[in-house]
Structure 1
Amino acid sequence: MKKLLIRSFVICTVLTLAGCSNAQDISQKNQIVEEQISESDKIIIQKYKTLINNIDSTRTPESKEKLKNFLKESSKIKNQNEKDKIEMNIYMALEMYKEAYELNKRQLEEIPSQSNLFKHCELMQILEYPQNDLQNCQRRIAESIKEELNKISKDDQAYAYAEWGYLLAMYKSGHNEYKDKMEKFIKSTTDETMKFQFQSSYEMAIERSN
């Protein structure tokens, strides 16, 4: 389970997919708290699911208004985990990034997980925080991944993803010498799918640094 979560997190890092870091590594906790969700909470959660299924996926002004109005409903949810998930989804959909950042900041303090940290750095990037702050955040990601590298077998595919995630985070943290290391790593990768993922994230990182 742990290796799967590490791989999921690093793939998020590699592809920088928005929303990919939404609590991947607290899925076990979700299963535990499932029984703690009250009937009143379940009703609101179901309303949210129905709303998402019915609104225009193109995010028209009308659908955005419905999402924003639903925040009044979601505030009534007593299960904190479920409340946070819904509100984060709405904030991101409506580009309410400051609100998303404040929510994530609290989540990171309560659960200092890799996914919460990744989301933290992602939101800082969107909000255009100073370069030094962005680099410090990426340094924390690199340190977190490095700790996990010692726990994964080098024969496991997850190791390659984690190693790449570490190189990428180190480069993003301001260590320009890791550019050559990333290029060598991509060149040495034989799996074409992984190679494409690494190359894509490499190009994106280089573009953002220019």
Structure 2
Amino acid sequence: MAKNLALFIDCDRLEAAFMTLIFDYLQNEGYNICVKRAYITKDNLDLWYSQLDRHYFRISIGNSQANNNMRLSVDVSKALYSGNYDSIAIASNYREFGVLASEVRTKGLEALCFYQFSKGNEAFLKRAYNIIYNLEPKNVSEQSSEMTSTGDMLDIFASALEGLDTQTLGEKIGDQTTSAKTTTRKPRATKSTKATSTKATTAKKK
């Protein structure tokens, strides 16, 4: 039986050329796309309009990316709590949408993400979604993988720190600091210092 899916596309963070790949994947996997919504600023509307119109998207035009982020988040939340869908797909590399994806998974729905590898955050997306699909050609992804993005490095570092007992770490740091203070000694006076002091005393007596 086909899964009912709601699709949300962040057009400002995705290239219009990849629209066909998104629909090819969903159709090949047997999803029934019930909702199609796109979020875009006026500057990018011309690049996307023909694609969105052909697939009968409901288009939300915002004044800024921040405005579109909020609208997308609200619509995803509505879809999540409507009880009408089995899966929710978000096409974007944006990290903050990962919070929505985690909520989707918590409620027992499937969370999908369509993204471009070259725009980073892949490590984070893998943790947030059930399924992630890289829209870029393989050769582009391989070239990009030669240099890990700063965002992914931070994600990897964050993962390594997950579960770390910060209290224990703080105690160890405190112990090291205390030890350093204990071993610190006052510097001894050098011979030259003593000699200078003696000459000064003799001069005063005269």
TM-score, normalised relative to structure 1? 0.30
The structure with the greater share of residues assigned to helix is: 1
TM-score, normalised relative to structure 2? 0.30
User: Who wins on radius of gyration, i.e. which is larger?
Assistant: 2
